[in-house]
Amino acid sequence: MAYGFRPMTDADRLLVEGVPRIVIDPGPDNARAIRAYEKAGFYRDRRAATPDGPALLMIRDAGVSSVGAPSS
């Protein structure tokens, strides 16, 4: 569980430093990761093909808290 929490801390730090948007791409079948990212303020954008296989693009914009993320 600690492994999944660390990227959230990094995302918060990047947004505080002025990064306007963070895009991540967990596997679409990785429900546990998707839930964790949604709790951290990311929202589902769309599925995409990547060199590593299918992915679900998820976005977190600056100024959007974990409770204020748009719903999909």
Domain boundaries, the chain: 2-61
Distances (CA, A) of 61 to 2, 15, 33, 69: 23, 8, 18, 9
2-61 carries CATH number 3.40.630.30:
yes
On the question of pLDDT at 3 being above 60, the answer is no
On the question of pLDDT at 47 being above 90, the answer is yes
Q: At 27, is the pLDDT very low, low, confident or very high (cuts 50, 70, 90)?
A: very high
On the question of pLDDT at 42 being above 70, the answer is yes
Q: What is the pTM of this model?
A: 0.75
Q: At 28, is the pLDDT very low, low, confident or very high (cuts 50, 70, 90)?
A: very high
